[in-house]
């Protein structure tokens, strides 16, 4: 029974740390950042930016963060490769 639980937990962990899920985490964080900025701006009342533009900004921030993540991952892989 314990082996089954360990196997299930291992599969869950593998799924949660997969490349696709990491990409989802990055994009979700950028959308959350966009929402936070939109919320702050809306409550400050200084700007009148439509929510559609903020959603677009969140998508753009997601792509930017994905590019940053790809560069960081590539540099980590290069360092690991050079250590071998």
Task: Of 15, 11, 13, give the one whose Cα is nearest residue 24.
Answer: 15
Residue 5 lies in a domain: no
Q: Residue 23's CB: how many other CB atoms inside 10 A?
A: 15
Residue 54 lies in a domain: yes
Output the pLDDT for position 44: 61
Give me the DSSP letters along 63-78. HHHHHHHHHHHHHHHH
* pTM of the full structure: 0.50
Residue 76 lies in a domain: yes
Between the alpha carbon of residue 9 and those of residues 18, 22, 40, the distances in Å are 14, 18, 39
**pLDDT 10s digits, 32-57:** 887 887 777 677 656 677 778 777 87
Output the pLDDT for position 68: 84
Is pLDDT of 11 > 80?
yes
Residue 36 lies in a domain: yes
Task: Work out how many domains the chain is built from and give that number.
Answer: 1
């Amino acid at each position: 029974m314990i082996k089954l639980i360990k196997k299930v937990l291992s599969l869950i962990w593998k799924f949660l740390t997969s490349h696709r899920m990491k990409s989802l985490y990055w994009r979700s964080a950028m959308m959350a950042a966009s929402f936070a900025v939109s919320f702050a701006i809306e409550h400050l009342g200084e700007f009148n930016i439509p929510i559609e533009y903020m959603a677009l900004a969140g998508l753009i921030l997601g792509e930017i963060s994905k590019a940053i993540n790809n560069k960081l991952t590539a540099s980590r892989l290069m360092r690991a490769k050079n250590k071998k």
